[in-house]
Structure 1
Amino acid sequence: MMNKFILKITKLLFLSVIITTVFACDDDDNRIIEGTNSIVNYMEREPRFSLFHELVVRTELDAVLDGNSGTYTILAPNNNAVETYLAENSFGSIQEIPEDLAFDLVYYHLLETINTQESFTTGYLRTLSEIPVTDTTTTNLSLLVNTANNEVRFNGDTEFVNANIEVDNGMMHEINKMMALPSLETFMQADSNLTPFYNEALANNTDFQGYLSSEDYHTILVPSADNFTNFWSNNSFTSAEAEQFFNYYVQDSLNITSRVNQGYINTKASVNLDNEEKTLPIYLNTQVGLLLNNTSSITVQDIVTTNGVIHSLDEVITLPTLADFMYADLELTTFVEAISRDDMTTENYLERLNNTNSTNSPFTIFAPTNQAFEDVLLELFPEQNASLEDIETLDLVSILNLHIAENLNLELDDYTSSTVNTLGGTIEIDTTIPSVTDVNDREALILQQNAIQTLNGVFYKIDTVLLPQL
């Protein structure tokens, strides 16, 4: 509650500072002529806004919204709209609305820049209402605008009654509904680009409604309507597969794009291996926009609600295989180059790592990073500027096989053996460091404690390429 109070005061002070008071002075006596048509002045004169004006006064934002200069746009619900909101939410009066909610409601109807009826375009706008991201940072709630059929609608069902009411400190629009603060479900229902995915998720995932209505933050990824509809109509899933498919688009916590880092993010999806549910992550590449699993980009980002955020995607993402992450991970491009080299086709590395029905799966991969390959080339060819192509075919097969183990979904925390049997022979493993060691006593550090899980196995990044007997 204290954090919320501090945020409210901070917002109030911020808005107070950015309001510029314009003075009209004559040359003789420098008289100050005050404006008389601010947002607050207009609502005071017009009885149909008396309830919303009462809400503004209750939150002590009347001082902020007064004055004869500013660039606000306010979507002002009339009394009928406010009365409907009060009745639908079981409030007997404006005074019964909790203080925090009252404050946020006013700000949710307020935009920072002037928008005329004609300037609104379909998409999302940032309101001045905020939710906390951390103890010290906030982000703004989104407002959906739809201008189809030459009509302006907000959040699917709110329309203008009177538009383009000019006031001294911005622009006012009378609307026919007081908008509730949006939840994830608000936009999933109102945005036609999200609804096909939403409808199928509700029908095929028993947890999805809970994600949308939870008070805890969730991040929802949603493929565009056209791409999802085409994909869904051309694929069939068992009920269990559909459940996990939709879970893969959900993450715990509020992952707005300004705060996410390149790498793996856990989802709500899992795969059952060894009679245990293993969480499936998704890989985010921030170097080429916001690319997920090397497949789908975030095209509409940070649709912020009171209980989470939605990101719209341009393509559908399926549950990941080892091959999917090998291709997606920017630290493993040389490893992919090695296993996909033309003379490696007989080994079928990529086909094996993409196969979810193999009798040899799950696989455990120890994947050397790009730097590890640079280092081993210097080690193997100290007298020349060598590349991957300088490693002979049979030698490369022997090297790669040391990094692949079959019928093993290795988890460091519960692995009791001191060795791992790979396709290329036995390597030593120390799960406490953690590291693996080849027959030449060359130690490769495992660069993360937790396995990166896929449908057909796990992989660990290592800092050294393992070598057969030198």
Structure 2
Amino acid sequence: MEKNIVELALDTPELSTLVAALSRADGDLVNVLSGNGPFTVLAPTNAAFTAFLADNGFSSLDQVPTDVLSQIILNHVIMSDVTSSDLIAAGSGYAKGSATGAGDQNISIFFDTTNGVRFNNAASVSTADINASNGTIHIINAVLGLPDIVDHAIANPSFTSLVTALGAADGDLVSVLKGAGPFTVLAPDNDAFATFLDGTALGDVNTAVLSQILLNHVIIGSTVTSSFLVDAGSGYTNTAATGAGGNPMSLYFNTSSGVTFNGISTVFEADIVGTNGIIHAVETVIGIPTVVTFAAADPNFSTLVTALTDLTPGTDFAAILSRTEGSNADGINPNFTVFAPTNDAFDALESVPGEAVLTQVLLHHVIGEANVTSSMLNNPGDTTAATLQGDNMTITLPGAGDNIANITDGSGASDIGIIAVDVQAGNGVIHVINKVMIPNL
């Protein structure tokens, strides 16, 4: 009868420390790995354990806390039968281990077969494909520690530019991302950085700007899995970058065709789990968004985008509302507060006006040189501000019915509702409204 994984380990002298660790660790791992499986066990040698103990300040296996020891061993167990030919055929990628990481997700294991079979760029297979009745053993020459998200980035050669950027940017971001977290990191690969830099050396990028760009790929305080995003469909969250007014930067996600952020960057490898967070590898660096970025990314604003572009060719609204610097000759300067009508709001109009009138209507939806967030409004009460068109608009809190707030526009209409607030960009903020505002024409 073919022996199981534990029985084979008992028969292999160079795995005696592993057997001792299985017996000592929490979780009755001897019985677990004697079960039906199938399992793939990456089995560190005695020498590997000796080096691991020394590197971590333990004089013997008995000094390792049993709960920690259990997680370390489980980080070497894949709950499926994976042969070396399977790994070589894949080339490189991630497998799901059995240790518990951020968000109670299974910690990921990176494999790369470009130079032998390596795991987490820390351990190489010395003996592959030891067949057992309940799976496969691969003997490896190092113990795999429990990786945080920085460890994962360092292990994967596709993220060398990201790792270099993290080290170069202001804010000691490597140390930040080795903290307790949890973090969700959208990790651009090397090709994404090459496209973004477009020939500029990474070392020539302003380190403060680089820090903000990188932080715009980090969500702090939650482990956002791809399944969570898919279930949500679309929406906004905040990153660790700082938008206009010192507010947390918004990030738009949409899962109608893959998982895409800000309309430009799509996930190509999801749910790389570490001890303190999760990584989603993305194909494009996500630059600092403007208010135009969000309008273009969110399909709820497609009619607004058409109005700002195709229907008003005489005014380059896209360029104007993408401005990040002041002292412009036309006097239209950021930051901008934009009241963005939804597609339904435009559909409710009897007709979309011609270019001359539409231009004034669109200007009536923007306040210049102010990043007016919801927290800055009088509540309860009215807040009045002049729009770029010239007429005032008045915001009243609280709103009627389901509205967060109500707006009285330049024409005197007061049934306009703010239905979402504080989509924060680098050059302003967007509030979503359910009717088109009309100035006093």
TM-score (norm. length: structure 1): 0.84
Q: Secondary structure at the match of 1:106?
A: helix
> Matches of 2:266 and 2:317 in 1, distance apart?
27
Judging changes above 3 Å, is the alpha-carbon distance between structure 1 residues 333 and 179 closer, same or farther for their aligned structure 2 residues? same
Aligned position for 2:330: none
> Matches of 2:198 and 2:398 in 1, distance apart?
48
Equivalent in 2, 5, 17 of residue 51 of structure 1: 17
Judging changes above 3 Å, is the alpha-carbon distance between structure 1 residues 278 and 131 closer, same or farther for their aligned structure 2 residues? same
Aligned position for 1:463: 434
Question: Aligned residues, how many?
Answer: 414
Aligned position for 1:337: 306
Report how far residue 443 of structure 1 moved.
2.0
1:19-58 correspondence to structure 2 within 5 Å: 35=1, 37-58=3-24
Does residue 411 (structure 1) correspond to residue 382 (structure 2)? The answer is no
Report how far residue 233 of structure 1 moved.
5.6
Judging changes above 3 Å, is the alpha-carbon distance between structure 1 residues 167 and 239 closer, same or farther for their aligned structure 2 residues? closer
Equivalent in 199, 205, 212 of residue 244 of structure 1: 212
Equivalent in 297, 312, 334 of residue 361 of structure 1: 334
Q: Deviations over 1:29-58 (max 9, x none)?
A: xxxxxx561111112222221111112122
Moved more, 172-181 or 258-267: 258-267
**Unmatched tracts of structure 2, length 5 or more:** 328-332, 400-404
Equivalent in 415, 421, 434 of residue 386 of structure 2: 421
Q: Is the contact made by 1:228 and 1:315 (CA closer than 8 Å) also made in structure 2?
A: yes
Equivalent in 308, 314, 318 of residue 277 of structure 2: 308
**Unmatched tracts of structure 1, length 5 or more:** 1-34, 382-387
Report how far residue 418 of structure 1 moved.
2.5
Report how far residue 132 of structure 1 moved.
5.2
Q: Deviations over 1:288-313 (max 9, x none)?
A: 21111111111111111001111111
> Matches of 1:128 and 1:112 in 2, distance apart?
7
Structure 1 counterpart of 2:341, one-letter code: P
> Matches of 2:397 and 2:278 in 1, distance apart?
37
Does residue 140 (structure 1) correspond to residue 106 (structure 2)? The answer is yes
Aligned position for 1:73: 40
Q: Is the contact made by 2:244 and 2:424 (CA closer than 8 Å) also made in structure 1?
A: no
Report how far residue 100 of structure 1 moved.
2.1
> Matches of 1:198 and 1:399 in 2, distance apart?
47
Q: Deviations over 1:321-379 (max 9, x none)?
A: 1111110112111111111124x12222111111112432111110011121222x2xx
> Matches of 1:212 and 1:63 in 2, distance apart?
36
Report how far residue 234 of structure 1 moved.
3.1
Judging changes above 3 Å, is the alpha-carbon distance between structure 1 residues 112 and 283 closer, same or farther for their aligned structure 2 residues? same
Report how far residue 91 of structure 1 moved.
2.1
Identity %: 29
> Matches of 2:254 and 2:130 in 1, distance apart?
45
> Matches of 2:155 and 2:20 in 1, distance apart?
29
> Matches of 2:40 and 2:208 in 1, distance apart?
48
Structure 2 counterpart of 1:119, one-letter code: D
Aligned position for 1:452: 423
Aligned position for 1:264: 236
Equivalent in 54, 79, 100 of residue 112 of structure 1: 79
Judging changes above 3 Å, is the alpha-carbon distance between structure 1 residues 239 and 170 closer, same or farther for their aligned structure 2 residues? closer
Judging changes above 3 Å, is the alpha-carbon distance between structure 1 residues 229 and 348 closer, same or farther for their aligned structure 2 residues? closer
Structure 1 counterpart of 2:434, one-letter code: D
> Matches of 1:84 and 1:238 in 2, distance apart?
41
Does residue 83 (structure 1) correspond to residue 50 (structure 2)? The answer is yes
Does residue 430 (structure 1) correspond to residue 412 (structure 2)? The answer is no
Structure 1 counterpart of 2:117, one-letter code: V
TM-score (norm. length: structure 2): 0.89
Q: 4+ runs of 1 displaced by more than 4 Å?
A: none
Aligned position for 2:364: 402
Equivalent in 174, 184, 199 of residue 139 of structure 2: 174
> Matches of 2:84 and 2:426 in 1, distance apart?
50
Q: Is the contact made by 1:412 and 1:431 (CA closer than 8 Å) also made in structure 2?
A: no
Q: Deviations over 1:218-265 (max 9, x none)?
A: 122221212313433634543322221222122102112112332222
Q: Is the contact made by 1:413 and 1:431 (CA closer than 8 Å) also made in structure 2?
A: no
Moved more, 234-243 or 36-45: 234-243
Structure 2 counterpart of 1:443, one-letter code: D
Judging changes above 3 Å, is the alpha-carbon distance between structure 1 residues 435 and 124 closer, same or farther for their aligned structure 2 residues? same
Structure 1 counterpart of 2:238, one-letter code: N
> Matches of 1:272 and 1:348 in 2, distance apart?
22
Q: Secondary structure at the match of 2:369?
A: coil
Does residue 98 (structure 1) correspond to residue 57 (structure 2)? The answer is no
CA RMSD of aligned residues (A): 1.9
> Matches of 1:403 and 1:97 in 2, distance apart?
63
Larger radius of gyration: 1
> Matches of 2:102 and 2:23 in 1, distance apart?
24
